[in-house]
Amino acid sequence: MNHGDTAVATPEADVETRSRRQPPYGVILHNDDINTFHFVIETLRKVFGYEMEKCILLTLEAHETGRSLVWCGTLEGAELKREQVLSRGADPEMKGQGALPLRVTLEEMPQ
């Protein structure tokens, strides 16, 4: 019996295949009635590096619809972006009114 013609999948090849097929993840910004628009816009600019106009549109979308997809990419990238948003804390101007860090969640996106 000749086993030379049979392809054998190694665990390393298996892991590589899975990581290449990893679905994209979205960072979702949720509406917040306490933090100011200015703070949300500045957070988006600092964390994601977007132009002012895009930050305003994403902030308005979250305000008007309850949520906005602000970034999409790898799970690791999405987790990093979420941590960067949270690390900014709450709007310093609104802490007295109970402001908390912006609420962002991660969602697996359709491919």
**pLDDT tens digits, one per residue of 44-101:** 999 999 999 999 999 999 999 999 999 999 999 999 999 999 999 999 999 999 999 9
Model confidence at 10: pLDDT above 70: no
Query: What topology is assigned to 22-108 in CATH?
Result: Ribosomal Protein L30; Chain: A, (3.30.1390)
What's the whole-model pTM score?
A: 0.80
Confidence of residue 12 (pLDDT cuts 50, 70, 90): low
Distance of CA 87 to the CA centre of its chain: 14
Model confidence at 1: pLDDT above 80: no
Model confidence at 107: pLDDT above 80: yes
- Write the CB contacts of 78 (distance below 8 Å, at least 6 apart in sequence): 25, 26, 27, 71, 72, 106
Q: How many CA atoms lie within 13 A of 26 on its CB side?
A: 12
